[in-house]
């Protein structure tokens, strides 16, 4: 898979020379492989500095600190969290179109941006053994028709040659949508005991897992899933998301 990726990228770029596509943000015709014009790509709300552990954006000042005060006091059950973007325009609208209106072309573009960040983050160091998309409860999956975290993970897996861990864990509690809950306390309670490991045998040789999601806000979902993973003896857990929101 590693060996074929450069060819895939090169042929995709060649295809765009002959079959231009509309930019996913402004709809202007572009030959970009990722269907993003140069202007809109540059204007995306990239996170330039964030807490190494929870991924919350930090002030882009001259101070050299890598952790927020909360993580220094109360460590989380995973190694680090990385979000590509602030949860603001146009990414917030793009994710809504991807997630709730099944515009998978948007998901493909944003997922490739995550894959680029993945390749940079793990360059020269050990990569995760598995990518774990945050599972959806079967009732929500039936209503939506797809799991956005899985669609993101498929692209990242193909680009990085890291296997998918889809099906290893399931969401056993049909929780209320996190966006509908006002307080962090309610969100944490909502996700408590939400996940279960159903394929323990497949985890025997796994030491490092990267959780993949579209948006992280209070970290209630990530913490609940990470605690379940940690319960299987896996100590290195990373969390990746397209957007890191703040309350």
Helix (H, G, I), strand (E, B) or coil at 209: strand
The 10s digit of each residue's pLDDT in 111-170 is: 999 999 999 999 999 999 999 999 999 999 999 999 999 999 999 999 999 999 999 999
pLDDT at 177 over 90: no
The 10s digit of each residue's pLDDT in 195-247 is: 999 988 889 899 999 999 999 998 889 999 999 999 999 989 999 999 999 87
- Among residues 195, 219, 241, 232, which one has the least CA distance to residue 75? 219
User: In the chain, where are the structural domains located?
Assistant: 1-43, 45-244
Q: Has domain 45-244 been given CATH number 3.40.50?
A: yes
Q: What is the pTM of this model?
A: 0.86
């Amino acid at each position: 898979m590693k060996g074929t990726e450069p060819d895939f990228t090169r042929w995709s770029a060649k295809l765009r020379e002959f079959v231009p596509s509309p930019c996913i943000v402004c709809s202007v015709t572009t030959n970009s492989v990722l269907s993003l014009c140069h202007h809109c790509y540059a204007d995306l709300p990239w996170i330039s500095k964030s807490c190494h552990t929870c991924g919350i954006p930090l002030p882009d000042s001259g101070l050299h600190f890598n952790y927020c005060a909360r993580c220094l006091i109360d460590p989380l059950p995973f190694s680090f969290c990385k979000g590509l973007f602030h949860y603001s325009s146009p990414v917030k609208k793009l994710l809504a179109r991807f997630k709730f209106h099944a515009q998978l072309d948007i998901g493909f573009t944003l997922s490739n941006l995550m894959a680029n960040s993945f390749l940079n983050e793990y360059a020269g160091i050990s990569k995760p053994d598995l990518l774990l998309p945050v599972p959806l409860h079967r009732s929500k999956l039936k209503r939506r028709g797809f799991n956005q975290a899985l669609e993101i993970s498929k692209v990242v897996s193909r680009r990085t040659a890291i296997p998918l861990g889809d099906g290893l864990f399931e969401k056993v509690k049909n929780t209320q949508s996190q966006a509908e809950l006002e307080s962090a306390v309610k969100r944490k309670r909502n996700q408590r005991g939400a996940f279960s490991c159903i394929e323990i045998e497949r985890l025997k040789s796994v030491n490092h897992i990267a959780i993949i999601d579209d948006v992280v806000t209070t970290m209630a979902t990530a913490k609940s899933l990470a605690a379940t993973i940690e319960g299987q003896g896996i100590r290195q857990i990373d969390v990746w998301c397209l957007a890191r929101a703040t309350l």
